[in-house]
């Protein structure tokens, strides 16, 4: 049965002024949370999925449900405990490297357990995100902006609100942590201390993962960090309020990340899905785990060996859902540095499949393209 959205039913109406409604929503500076706080019981039309996304959303659910009754898919979970406590045991290291290689080549996603960040820090970080978004709107408004070029810390709802075909049911806090190191005073007071502590912990985990990924490619453990892959990073905190009509909209549209590596902390509500073997697969919330995924630039420099895959977040009647993604990329101060397939990985039988590019060129193209269902990497293929 084909499900018809309200967007389809009213597509012929002339009373809908999308630009004006977007502007009115934006000017409140209250985001999606403001809508929920006002008691909205119907999803505003600016959030409606386009008909193709709406249909695919329901078909994909059916495909996933059917597939799970046939061949259950097991999302990769990698335990780092023995590896971190016995760093000199080469057999343990090889086992972890092999697990990361397999996950990066097939899924592009995996979860890590026993990564060394205390559970208390993870929970305090999630609570810190809630505290920021749930404080009085007047305390958040000074940070509300759409200009990420001049601000290192900003809050808004939907970075591409005016260019996307439909708005996502979420609000976001963006923090460019380095380089140069962000001064703590620039962070919101309500979550400043935990942001700084969690960021310090993430740098350690990120460097360890880059070492394991380097070895997974058959390179020295410092190769990716020496290339500058971890020199710059930002934190993106998402707040997904409970949605009265989750079947009509989505939390985050289908997309791939335009970085080298992403480390995600999510709460236990769920909703994150990965596109694997043409099926949407739930990423199960696992207590104490971090979700790790390969970004577009990692796929490019690995010459397609590691996969940057599309993912999305469903809207939910349960909420709020909170998450924080850390995007590792090269230094934005060195945005003109050229990146291409790593020379040591190339041969007569494995020629380069991507052209060289700079972070600036790739980022500008990726942002301009938006979430249109086509990977930005296609543009950089030879």
In a domain, 169, yes or no: yes
215-270: pLDDT as tens digits: 999 999 999 999 999 999 999 999 999 999 999 999 999 999 999 999 999 999 99
* Nearest CA among 30, 77, 32 for reference residue 322: 32
| DSSP result, 72-137 | -----EEE-HHHHH-TT-HHHHHHHHHHHHHHHHHTSEEEEES-S--HHHHHHHHHHHHHHHHS-H
Q: Domain for residue 75, yes or no?
A: yes
Q: Residue 58's pLDDT is what?
A: 55
Q: What pLDDT is attached to residue 375? A: 82
Cβ atoms within 10 Å of 119's Cβ, excluding its own: 9
The verdict on residue 106 lying in a domain is yes
Q: Compute the Cα dihedral for 191, 196, 197, 202 and give only its sign.
A: positive
Query: What φ, ψ does residue 363 adopt, rounded to 5°?
Result: -65, -45
Compute the distance between CA of residue 250 and CA of residue 254 in angstroms, rounded to an integer: 9
Helical axes 90-106 vs 192-216, angle rounded to 10°: 90
Q: Which residues pair with 240 in a beta bridge?
A: 321
Q: Is residue 128 part of a domain?
A: yes
- How far is it, in rounded angstroms, from Cα 127 to Cα 122? 9
Asked if residue 345 is part of any domain, the answer here is yes
Q: What Å distances lie between residue 148 and 34, 40, 324, CA to CA?
A: 22, 30, 18
Tokens of residue 173, six digits: 């806090």
DSSP 313-369: E---SS--EEEEEEEEES-GGGTT-EE-S-GGG--SSS---B--EEHHHHHHHHHHH
The answer to pTM > 0.85 is yes
Residue 139 within a domain = yes
Residue 54 pLDDT: 58
Instruction: Output DSSP code: residue 144.
Output: B
Please report the pLDDT score of residue 1 as a whole number.
34
Under 8 Å CB-to-CB from 311, ≥6 apart: which residues? 109, 254, 255, 256, 272, 273, 274, 275, 283, 293
Whether 290 contacts 82, CB under 8 Å: no
Low-confidence ranges of the chain (pLDDT < 50): 1-12, 62-71
In a domain, 376, yes or no: yes
Q: How far is CA 29 from its chain centroid?
A: 23
Task: Assign residue 276 the CATH number of its domain.
Answer: 2.60.120.330
pLDDT, residue 372, reads 62
Q: What is the DSSP letter of 5?
A: P
- Taking Cα atoms as reference points, which of 101, 90, 94 lies closest to residue 217? 101
| Residues spanned by the domain of 129 | 6-11+18-380
Residue 167 tokens, joined: 């708005």
Tell me if 1 is assigned to some domain.
no
Please state the domain count of the chain: 1
What is the token pair recorded at 256?
């791939």
Question: What pLDDT was estimated at residue 174?
Answer: 97
CB-CB contact of 295 with 363 (8 Å) = no
Q: Are 194 and 235 in contact (CB under 8 A)?
A: no
């Amino acid at each position: 049965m084909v499900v018809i959205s309200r967007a389809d039913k009213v597509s012929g109406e002339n009373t809908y002024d999308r630009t004006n409604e977007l502007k009115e929503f934006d000017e409140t500076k209250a985001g999606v949370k403001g809508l929920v706080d006002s008691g909205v019981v119907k999803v505003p039309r600016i959030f409606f999925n386009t008909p193709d996304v709406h249909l695919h959303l329901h078909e994909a659910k059916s495909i996933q449900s059917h597939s799970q009754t046939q061949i259950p898919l097991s999302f990769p979970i990698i335990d780092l405990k023995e590896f971190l406590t016995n760093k000199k045991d080469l057999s343990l290291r090889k086992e972890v490297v092999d697990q990361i290689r397999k996950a990066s080549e097939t899924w592009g996603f995996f979860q890590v357990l026993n990564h060394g960040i205390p559970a208390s820090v993870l929970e305090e970080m999630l609570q810190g995100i809630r505290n920021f978004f749930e404080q009085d709107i007047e305390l958040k408004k000074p940070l509300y902006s759409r200009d990420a070029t001049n601000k290192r810390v900003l809050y808004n709802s939907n970075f591409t609100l005016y260019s996307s075909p439909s708005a996502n049911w979420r609000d976001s806090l963006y923090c460019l942590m380095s380089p140069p190191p962000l001064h703590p005073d620039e962070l919101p007071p309500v979550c400043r201390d935990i942001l700084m502590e969690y960021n310090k912990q993430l740098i350690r985990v990120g460097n360890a993962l880059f070492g394991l990924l380097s070895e997974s490619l058959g390179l020295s453990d410092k190769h990716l960090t020496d290339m500058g892959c971890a020199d710059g990073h930002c934190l993106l905190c998402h707040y997904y309020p409970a949605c009265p009509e989750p079947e009509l909209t989505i939390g985050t549209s289908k997309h791939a990340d335009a970085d080298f590596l992403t480390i995600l902390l999510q709460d236990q509500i769920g909703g994150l899905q990965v596109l694997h073997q043409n099926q949407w697969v739930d990423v199960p919330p696992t207590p104490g785990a971090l979700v790790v995924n390969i970004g577009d630039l990692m796929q490019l420099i690995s010459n397609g060996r590691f996969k940057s895959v599309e993912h999305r977040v469903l809207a939910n009647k349960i909420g709020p859902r909170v998450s924080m993604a850390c995007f590792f990329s090269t230094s934005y101060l060195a945005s003109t540095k050229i990146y291409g397939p790593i020379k040591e990985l190339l041969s007569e039988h494995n020629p380069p499949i991507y052209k060289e590019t700079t972070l600036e060129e790739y980022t500008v193209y990726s942002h301009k393209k938006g979430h249109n269902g086509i990977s930005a990497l296609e543009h950089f293929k030879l």
